[in-house]
Structure 1
Amino acid sequence: MKIMKTYKIMFVAAGILSLSSCMNKLDLYPTNQFTEENYWTNSQKAQSFLNDAYHNMADAERYFYNEALSDNAVNLRGDVQGAASIASGVADAGHGRFSNEWFRRYQSIRNANMLLENIDKVPNMDEALKERMKAEARFIRAFAYFHLATWFGDVPLFNTVINFNDSKTISRSPHQQVISFVLSELDAIESTLPVQYPQNERGKITRGAVIGMKARVHLLESNWQQVIAETEKLITSTANGAYSLFPSYAGLFEEANEFNSEVIFDFQYVQPNVSYNTFFDIAPLSVGARLNSLAPTQELVDSYLMMNGKRITDPASGYNENEPYVNRDPRLTATVVYHGYQWQRPDGSFKTIYTRPGTDPVRDENGNAADEYRPGSSSSPTGYYFRKYYDLNSGTNFRSGLNLIIMRYADILLMYAEAKNELGQMTEEVWNKTIRAIRQRAGFTAAEALNFNAALSNAQIREIIRNERRTELVLESLRIFDIKRWRIAGQVLNGWVHGAKFGPASVDNGYLRVQQRVFDPAKHYLWPIPRQERNINPNLTQNPNW
């Protein structure tokens, strides 16, 4: 479903009221435009309301800048979506990212609850359509609760529209109770939703999206057998959707290939009504970007394998530090812009990106090389840029209508592989349908990279799968959740993160120090309950050490 427009009166009436400081506006419904009595008069209005609920599920800025909460990227210009202050450990309970996350998710929940409580008022509405729309709303509500429980742990749980007084007294429900509610909701709606929609309704929640979401919930809870059960519904049968890997990894993220066989659920955009220009602060400056606010780390670059399937730290890998981007996993070039990169412009021409200081043949008015990396400038602080998700149709202002993928088939395969390995069930058959298939699509051809090695231990395969998730799913807003569920944040989110090898040789072997991270395992695995929420409702307890 391409969301062509939204209705602002519904954001006022249905969206602004959540468990937040905005709750005191409950009595400010624009009654001349919207009331429960006069709104629910036809199915078109109900659909418009549901469209707004969809629209509130995700946004481009949060989607991209969640990457800087992980070890894949840094945000050093501004504090976009709290990425800089959270990563450096200085954010407190009053930070806007925490309150915004809380507000937006409860806004989604309220929207869903309002639709569920009012859609039966619509006269002469087709019953099948009504039940399907209810199921979509329940998915959106479950999606919101899942994210709340993942970020905050225990959170208030309710499935009706609550009033202002209730919002000031409600308590937090245990994490597991919230997760159980999410799973029960997804179970209840699975058979109601269609396997696919007509072309003019593409993008709505399908049965496959529900199954994939259940698998993701179980994954974050380490319920391995349930992960296998759900993913097998999409791997071993087409009854719930005919999904497969799209032939081109880079092509997955091009507008011409939207709605391809790999996409299970994505967040819909269409220009000019609903679009984003986030890449204006992500792309290289020399191709027209404004500044760089989200940059890949050297740690991410180092995670990409050599074409023989070996890590660059393996003496047998063939890695050459003087030619660090040669013979690497092709997904590196599809994702990261590095020194000497050939950036394709919208007109089909190419621009060489120079990030190593002093190497750009173009000179400025003072005779200095106009290369991308200049300390203290607005260029990338790491010497790298992101290429993945760049929309060739976005033009000079980088305004894009490219959909953002929330769930795709490669993730299903990786969840399945991880669960199988955690249960000691990794076999050549499982490997071939998951890791081998994903690597073949990426462009690997060497037998060493593709063939299953039965001599590897469970722990060694675990590291392979985890690294495969990192390089396959980078910039898809998933890495931070993986780091937390693996409980490795204390290792990978503490200390310096680095950029390219442009610095003094005496410091970290010449790799740029760009940000010092702080992650306290006794505190930071959960976000704090926002301060303003606790000011309104003293029954909301706080997470440990906040």
Structure 2
Amino acid sequence: MPTILYNPLNNKIRKILFIGILCVAATACNDDFLEKTPETDIDAGSFFNTEQDLNLYANNLYDFPSTGIYTSEAYNLTDNAFSTGNVELKTMVTTNPSSTTITGGWEWGQLRNVNFFLDRFRKANITEDRLNHFEGLARFFRARFYVDKVKRYSDVPWIDVPLEANSEDILFAARDPRETVVNHIMEDYEFALNNVDVSAPTGAVNRWVVKADYARFLLYEGTFRKYHTELKLSNSASDFLQKAVDVAKDIMDNGSFQIYTTNKPNEDYGSLFANADLSGNKEIILARFYQANVLNGDSGEGVFGNYETYPQKNLVQAYLMKDGSFYSRQPNYQQNEFVQEFRDRDPRLYQTYAYPGWVLVRSGTYAQGTGLYVQQLAKNFSGYHQIKGFYNSTDQDTRNNMDVPLYRFAEILLIYAEAKAEIGQLTQSDLDITVNQLRDRVGMPHMTLNPPIDPVEVAKFPNVTSVQRAEILEIRRERRVELAFEGQRHDDLMRWEAGKFLENEPQGIYFASLGKHDLTGDGIPDIYLLPASQSIPNNKETNSLGKVLQYYRVGTFGQDVSLFLKNATSGNVQIIEDMGIFVSPKYYYRPIPQQQIVLNPNLKQIFDWE
């Protein structure tokens, strides 16, 4: 079958012209549910008449993320990354939230735009095949819209007609059950995957994008139903998981995708996230494309860290050793200092985190400056820094040129493997065509059936009791490592019913004692930790390389110091004093904003929200 990628000789130029049209999606409104679309915005009598009209309107439905994927795991709150900002879930677990304080998310503008299109597009004088393609596109975006609503609220009103001024049945609609809404979502996906064009210009939605998004949702819904007993839908979980297997396998067998590799295990993985042209990369199912001075990209300095978001130690500890053994099997692994914990690890760690010996080129406001990476330590930050998705160049045009991978073939392989394990049907052959392809890229040992069980992972996920528990836990690790900082981790924790794990305080790098410490791996000290009782001297010590040591006064929360350590004079860098309580099952969902309940009394709160 034809591939997703469209590669004429001037593909880069064509690509940018196309994404220039798509950029209008960024201005899409977030209107209130009760406002109707102004019909004067588009004159239905003079529009929707040609394929060009339909293309122009459909382009405005594009709602994919961009470089924000690299920091979304911090802003959404996960065990991968943390944010110093007042992000929603952090506010929930540390306060007493209600429908008057949790008010975001109840936007319906995208749905009205889709339904407006679906009500009018058949006016166009084009073939039935083309009409079905455009209907498929619109229904795909409606499915995506409702997937987000189901994730947030579970039960929501299903609306598939345009809103009119006299549409009281819509304006005062009650919530439809999750099963009803999900059935409609699947109908939309199924129509789209059977009718959207197989191939499309680079950056546009084609049938493979539809299938990738569908497979992602099927895995989410299947595992959510399996692990969330409060829904009383666990009996249908296996159907969703089997469907996820089928859709993923279709992509694997009939799409022309493959894992990107040039046999450079220390480079290939990371190069996917700092690449000026992903249009010819066969791992990419969909990306956001950028061109300097036409449509500028650049992920921003905040990705690196010490702005609002930063990585956590917990993710560092998830990576396997280079020989495939658990990092947790290392003696006293929790007391390893920064240099030690990066020794002999999965190469993806070095392509995701700044590591000892890494060289910083783009310093921006980073006080330590360019050159050999030495952490800039500060209160409320972990001491770790992210290089995945960080464009380490001083050239603005180079940074603005970087493309962002949104759907990778790697994720499809992981969807297939996880769904097969969840239904207890995973084989060694399945592992070899999925997880082991990802490990081959980075030169890691293969995963086998009946792998050893890591007690650390068991403690995280005590609700995994399936016959292939060991396989599920290792596939979850592989997914976490492979998709780190791509915006998937929050949904994963929610669907696995692992929200309680977010009560654990996020931690930073470990220091065994006060005094001098090497952070670059050359055996020469770079920083000096002083007790809270001492002042930083005016005449700072210089190391054998002629570099002035960076001094920090350390202590515990409440003290006037530069850095918090768990035991005041030793331990992990501390980020927040109290992570609060994750109330289950309540916090897996959000309340409908109280103002909407006032406007429409037929909307009722569920899962103990008030």
Asked whether the two chains share a fold, i.e. TM above 0.5, the reply is yes
Q: Relative to structure 1, is the Cα distance of residues 454 and 463 closer, same or farther in structure 2, using a 3 angstrom cutoff?
A: closer
* Contact map agreement 1:155 1:174 (CA 8 A) in 2: yes
Aligned partner (choices 367, 373, 378) of residue 374 of structure 1: 378
Aligned partner (choices 177, 181, 188) of residue 178 of structure 1: 181
Residue 3 of structure 1 pairs with residue 9 of structure 2: no
Residue aligning to 1:482: 492
Q: Partners of 2:69 and 2:320 in 1: how far apart?
A: 28
Q: 1:522 offset after TM fit, Å?
A: 2.9
Q: Relative to structure 1, is the Cα distance of residues 150 and 39 closer, same or farther in structure 2, using a 3 angstrom cutoff?
A: same
Which secondary structure does the structure 2 equivalent of 1:190 belong to? helix
Matched letter for residue 53 of structure 1: L
Which secondary structure does the structure 1 equivalent of 2:506 belong to? strand
Q: Partners of 2:399 and 2:285 in 1: how far apart?
A: 24
Which secondary structure does the structure 2 equivalent of 1:499 belong to? strand
Aligned partner (choices 251, 256, 266) of residue 242 of structure 1: 256
Which stretch shows the higher mean deviation, 41-50 or 217-226?
Answer: 41-50
| TM-score (normalizing by structure 1) | 0.81
Q: Partners of 2:447 and 2:437 in 1: how far apart?
A: 10
Q: Relative to structure 1, is the Cα distance of residues 113 and 395 closer, same or farther in structure 2, using a 3 angstrom cutoff?
A: farther
Q: Partners of 1:256 and 1:269 in 2: how far apart?
A: 8
Q: Relative to structure 1, is the Cα distance of residues 89 and 385 closer, same or farther in structure 2, using a 3 angstrom cutoff?
A: farther
* Contact map agreement 1:312 1:319 (CA 8 A) in 2: no
Structure 2, unaligned stretches of length 5 or more?
Answer: 1-14, 223-239, 262-267, 364-368, 453-466, 512-563
Residue aligning to 1:157: 158
Q: 1:245 offset after TM fit, Å?
A: 0.8
Q: 1:406 offset after TM fit, Å?
A: 3.1
Matched letter for residue 335 of structure 1: T
Residue 343 of structure 1 pairs with residue 355 of structure 2: no
Q: Partners of 1:212 and 1:506 in 2: how far apart?
A: 47
Q: 1:460 offset after TM fit, Å?
A: 1.7
Q: 1:354 offset after TM fit, Å?
A: 0.8
Q: Relative to structure 1, is the Cα distance of residues 316 and 11 closer, same or farther in structure 2, using a 3 angstrom cutoff?
A: closer
Q: 1:459 offset after TM fit, Å?
A: 1.7
Which secondary structure does the structure 1 equivalent of 2:351 belong to? helix
Q: Partners of 1:57 and 1:435 in 2: how far apart?
A: 26
Identity across the alignment (%): 24
Residue aligning to 1:47: 55
Residue 524 of structure 1 pairs with residue 541 of structure 2: no
Residue 494 of structure 1 pairs with residue 503 of structure 2: yes
Q: Partners of 1:476 and 1:281 in 2: how far apart?
A: 15
Q: 1:400 offset after TM fit, Å?
A: 4.0
Q: 1:148 offset after TM fit, Å?
A: 0.9
Q: 1:39 offset after TM fit, Å?
A: 3.5
Q: 1:143 offset after TM fit, Å?
A: 0.8
| TM-score (normalizing by structure 2) | 0.73
Residue aligning to 1:216: 216
Residue aligning to 1:111: 113
Matched letter for residue 153 of structure 2: F
Q: Partners of 1:526 and 1:136 in 2: how far apart?
A: 28
Q: Partners of 1:257 and 1:270 in 2: how far apart?
A: 9
* Contact map agreement 2:74 2:310 (CA 8 A) in 1: no
Aligned partner (choices 572, 596, 601) of residue 538 of structure 1: 601
* Contact map agreement 1:305 1:328 (CA 8 A) in 2: yes
* Contact map agreement 1:529 1:543 (CA 8 A) in 2: no
Matched letter for residue 295 of structure 1: Y
Which secondary structure does the structure 2 equivalent of 1:305 belong to? coil
Larger Rg: 2
What aligned pairs does 1:82-481 form with structure 2 within 5 A after superposition?
82=88, 84-86=90-92, 88=94, 91-95=97-101, 99=104, 101-103=105-107, 106-122=108-124, 124-125=125-126, 127-164=128-165, 165-166=167-168, 167-197=170-200, 201-222=201-222, 223-235=240-252, 237-238=253-254, 241-247=255-261, 248-259=268-279, 260-272=281-293, 274-275=295-296, 278-284=299-305, 292-315=307-330, 321-322=336-337, 323-343=340-360, 351-355=371-375, 372-375=376-379, 381-391=381-391, 395=395, 400=400, 402-444=402-444, 449-454=445-450, 456=452, 458-481=468-491
Q: 1:453 offset after TM fit, Å?
A: 4.8
Q: 1:394 offset after TM fit, Å?
A: 8.1
Q: 1:58 offset after TM fit, Å?
A: 3.3
Q: Relative to structure 1, is the Cα distance of residues 11 and 496 closer, same or farther in structure 2, using a 3 angstrom cutoff?
A: closer
* Contact map agreement 1:3 1:270 (CA 8 A) in 2: no
Q: 1:61 offset after TM fit, Å?
A: 3.7
Q: Relative to structure 1, is the Cα distance of residues 117 and 403 closer, same or farther in structure 2, using a 3 angstrom cutoff?
A: farther
* Contact map agreement 2:508 2:573 (CA 8 A) in 1: yes
Residue aligning to 2:574: 513
Q: Partners of 2:93 and 2:404 in 1: how far apart?
A: 24
Which secondary structure does the structure 2 equivalent of 1:407 belong to? strand
Which secondary structure does the structure 2 equivalent of 1:38 belong to? coil
Q: Partners of 1:16 and 1:451 in 2: how far apart?
A: 45
Which secondary structure does the structure 2 equivalent of 1:196 belong to? coil
Q: Relative to structure 1, is the Cα distance of residues 401 and 110 closer, same or farther in structure 2, using a 3 angstrom cutoff?
A: farther
- Residue by residue over 1:158-183, the C-alpha shift from the partner in whole angstroms, topping out at 9 and shown as x without a partner, is 11112355353011111111111111
Q: Partners of 1:180 and 1:392 in 2: how far apart?
A: 45
- Residue by residue over 1:154-208, the C-alpha shift from the partner in whole angstroms, topping out at 9 and shown as x without a partner, is 01111111235535301111111111111111112212123322xxx21222222
* Contact map agreement 2:299 2:389 (CA 8 A) in 1: no
Which stretch shows the higher mean deviation, 207-216 or 148-157?
Answer: 207-216
Residue aligning to 1:363: none
Matched letter for residue 464 of structure 1: E
* Contact map agreement 1:218 1:226 (CA 8 A) in 2: yes
Structure 1, unaligned stretches of length 5 or more?
Answer: 285-290, 356-371
Matched letter for residue 572 of structure 2: Y
Q: Relative to structure 1, is the Cα distance of residues 533 and 271 closer, same or farther in structure 2, using a 3 angstrom cutoff?
A: farther
Q: Partners of 1:5 and 1:135 in 2: how far apart?
A: 20
Q: 1:121 offset after TM fit, Å?
A: 2.6
Q: Relative to structure 1, is the Cα distance of residues 320 and 18 closer, same or farther in structure 2, using a 3 angstrom cutoff?
A: closer
Matched letter for residue 331 of structure 1: R
Matched letter for residue 374 of structure 1: A
- Residue by residue over 1:85-123, the C-alpha shift from the partner in whole angstroms, topping out at 9 and shown as x without a partner, is 246456543457x52x331xx22222211111122233x
Task: Figure out how many residues of one structure are paired with residues of the other and give that number.
Answer: 491
Q: Partners of 2:50 and 2:66 in 1: how far apart?
A: 29
Q: Partners of 2:449 and 2:491 in 1: how far apart?
A: 28
* Contact map agreement 1:231 1:416 (CA 8 A) in 2: yes
Q: Relative to structure 1, is the Cα distance of residues 40 and 454 closer, same or farther in structure 2, using a 3 angstrom cutoff?
A: closer
Greater helix share, structure number: 1
Q: Relative to structure 1, is the Cα distance of residues 342 and 473 closer, same or farther in structure 2, using a 3 angstrom cutoff?
A: same
Q: Partners of 2:291 and 2:189 in 1: how far apart?
A: 28
